[in-house]
Structure 1
Amino acid sequence: MIRESLFAASERETRLDKLGDVLRRFDELIDFAEIAHEVEQSLPQRDRSKGGRPPYPVELMVRVMIVQEYFNLSDEQMEFQLLDRLSFQRFVGLRRSSQIPDRTTIWLFRERLVKAGCYDGVLESVNRQINAAGYVARGGQMIDATLVSAPIQRMSKEENEAIEQGKTPADWAEAKRRQKDMDARWTKKHGKSHFGYKMSASVDHRYKLLRKVKVSSANEHDTKHFEDVLDGDNSCRDVYADRGYADREREHRLRSEGWRMHIQRKAKKGKPLSPCQAKRNRRIASKRARVEHPFASMAQMGGKAIRCIGLERARLRISLKAAVYNIQRLCYLKSAGVLPLKSRIAA
């Protein structure tokens, strides 16, 4: 016989805490009010002269974005889960509320962030809090890029040619234009074709945290964004990268600025690598391999595929996913007993 209790809700929450609620851990380690304050400074003030229902607090919506990216949910599924799931309601702050943000509200808030150009606001705020906790960038950095798939666009040869020239096909109505991603591009990797975007990133070697992120179309070469993601705040000047970033002129310039470049060498046609160069490549590979771990973690959270249209929206979604990865990584560092820099100095 099923036993009923007046305190069933409280008992379920207690049991949830014992099992381990990852969102409760997020709440303990990150000040979301601080993130919301910084995001709000970038958002234009809404016109309230026409009345209407008051908007949800920015902090609540930021929390919704975090949950959505961590569990890789669509707007429709996010609405359903907020109605159904206790841990979501508790984290967002709607445990005792009869109202929850619907799919349209979630989409509109994300659009506000895009229009305000607040692509990296959450990631930058999370990284500042991580630094304040003592997990500063040190031990060098690894630079690499990964492809992010987008929904494939079915277009004719003439339409593709017009888009490549930065034009909109003349016969497209406005409704059709809104459904077409004109920023995503095709590229090839290891002989396979991919459509979408590319995320270039700098990851610190010690803690494997994403420090800087740059999103571009998939067909842009990795090396184009090398200096965009180079983290000048890393206390160590060592930089590790694979052979796709080899550029003697740039390496010489960066060395003159104090950087220690560890970039693998490429063999040329008819001129294989010498044993010394091959050994150097293996040595670098053992260091830079750690950069693949954040990409793999983001892939588990659905970060290697997006369901939005346009580069600006892709920048926001990928940056949010990077912020969620860093929060998750901070939870691991804390639970594994990895001491931050300040604690090591104090010890």
Structure 2
Amino acid sequence: MNQMSFGDAEYSGKKKRTRREQFLAEMEQVVPWGSLLALIEPFYPVAGRGRHPYPIATMLRVHLMQNWFGLSDPAMEEALYEITSMRQFARLTLTQAIPDETTILNFRRLLEQNELAPEILARVNKYLGRKGLLLKRGSIVDATIIAAPSSTKNAEGERDPEMHQTKKGNQWHFGMKAHIGADAESGLVHTVVTTAANEADVAVVDELLHGKEEVAYADAGYTGADKRVERKNLRWEIAAKRGKIQAMPEGQAKRTAEKIEKRKASIRAKVEHPFRVIKRQFGLVKVRFRGLAKNTAHIITLFALSNLWMARRRLLAMTGSLRPQFAK
């Protein structure tokens, strides 16, 4: 790194570590940096006679922080100026130029235009597989609605035409759906598909399976999935509709059916964890962009990062004690 500014030097001597610092120190150790940098490098601009681009490692770190903390491009630029821990994680100091919001935007567009988000997820999962954390013997499929602005008070005077509304229970939702296939043992996401919110969950179920699982778990919304996916070696564990169980007469048969459904639900519960991480931990309350393509790249990246977040304890246990390497 370049010579530290006086502010950075003073910061490095403080005694208390904040939760943000702890988070970044953990991510420093669990992200497969080498694999991700090798993926992006062929598409990254090389230095010419004009202004030299920032190092790929710096821009990747900025991009990941932008996803982790749910920051816009201008907010990310300001955070690099204001928050020392984030600046140090990006390997920047106030004695050198800080990437502006346009540079941050251009890096994200580079990833979008070259469709690198699915490969980022694939490389993260390959890394987790090598660590024995992604087994793929079974899959859980599920979907969640991600809201989009329903207001027409914008330059175009209309809602996003690629988003649609759907009714869930007694409430209408406008936006898109993120459909995922997750590992039945770890809950880590191996496949992501996005659609408008009005697409039926079961319509894309065949795209959520990787083909090697022996059993697939799903809620009652996937009734009929076994007829859409023709694989003789695949066993489906689909939740029975609640009304069907309630209609059964009291007795041993009903108690047995309820016990079976409880066992299925305990396994399916793991698929809710990545949804919680991207919505609560990473702050995905609403879509950040207009159109499915940009939001798809963003959501796939978030699920890749959620896998690392969910597996971080086991990954850190493999590497030993936690050390804040980025602060060196």
* TM-score range relative to shorter protein: 0.7 to 0.9
Aligned length: 307
Equivalent of 1:188 in 155, 167, 176:
167
**Deviation sequence 1:95-137 (CA, Å, 0-9, x none):** 3652111111111221222222223122222112212222122
Which residue of 2 is the match for residue 164 of structure 1?
A: none
Report 1:216-295 matches (<5 A).
216-234=195-213, 237-247=214-224, 250=227, 253-254=230-231, 256=232, 258-266=233-241, 272=247, 275=254, 277-295=257-275
**TM-score, L = length of structure 2:** 0.82
Q: Residues 54 and 182 of structure 1: is their aligned pair in 2 closer, same or farther, counting only changes over 3 Å?
A: farther
CA drift at 1:309: 0.7
- Aligned-CA RMSD value: 3.2
Segments of 5+ residues of structure 1 without an aligned counterpart are: 1-5, 156-174, 338-347
**Code of the aligned partner of 2:241:** K
Q: Residues 281 and 94 of structure 1: is their aligned pair in 2 closer, same or farther, counting only changes over 3 Å?
A: same
Q: Residues 249 and 296 of structure 1: is their aligned pair in 2 closer, same or farther, counting only changes over 3 Å?
A: closer
Q: Percent identity?
A: 29
Q: Residues 334 and 273 of structure 1: is their aligned pair in 2 closer, same or farther, counting only changes over 3 Å?
A: farther
Is the Cα–Cα contact under 8 Å of residues 182 and 191 in structure 2 kept in the other structure?
yes
Which residue of 1 is the match for residue 126 of structure 2?
A: 128
Instruction: Provide the secondary structure at the position in 1 that maps to 2:180.
Output: strand
Alpha-carbon separation, structure 2, partners of 1:180 and 1:252: 35
Is the Cα–Cα contact under 8 Å of residues 144 and 291 in structure 1 kept in the other structure?
yes
Which residue of 2 is the match for residue 105 of structure 1?
A: 103
Alpha-carbon separation, structure 1, partners of 2:316 and 2:24: 14
1:312 paired to 2:293: yes
Equivalent of 2:147 in 142, 146, 149:
149
CA drift at 1:245: 0.6
Is the Cα–Cα contact under 8 Å of residues 32 and 63 in structure 1 kept in the other structure?
no
1:95 paired to 2:93: yes
Alpha-carbon separation, structure 2, partners of 1:306 and 1:248: 28
Which residue of 2 is the match for residue 298 of structure 1?
A: 278
Is the Cα–Cα contact under 8 Å of residues 147 and 304 in structure 1 kept in the other structure?
no
Is the Cα–Cα contact under 8 Å of residues 187 and 193 in structure 1 kept in the other structure?
yes
Q: Residues 110 and 7 of structure 1: is their aligned pair in 2 closer, same or farther, counting only changes over 3 Å?
A: closer
Which residue of 2 is the match for residue 13 of structure 1?
A: 12
**Code of the aligned partner of 2:87:** Q
Equivalent of 1:204 in 183, 193, 206:
183
Q: Residues 181 and 27 of structure 1: is their aligned pair in 2 closer, same or farther, counting only changes over 3 Å?
A: same
CA drift at 1:93: 1.3
**Deviation sequence 1:255-301 (CA, Å, 0-9, x none):** x1x112101123689x9467355543333112211211221121111
Which residue of 2 is the match for residue 161 of structure 1?
A: none
**Deviation sequence 1:161-200 (CA, Å, 0-9, x none):** xxxxxxxxxxxxxx739x8622111111122111111111
Alpha-carbon separation, structure 2, partners of 1:248 and 1:71: 36
Instruction: Provide the secondary structure at the position in 2 that maps to 1:314.
Output: helix
Q: Residues 14 and 29 of structure 1: is their aligned pair in 2 closer, same or farther, counting only changes over 3 Å?
A: farther
**Code of the aligned partner of 1:263:** I
Alpha-carbon separation, structure 2, partners of 1:180 and 1:192: 19
Alpha-carbon separation, structure 2, partners of 1:62 and 1:109: 8
Alpha-carbon separation, structure 2, partners of 1:304 and 1:239: 28
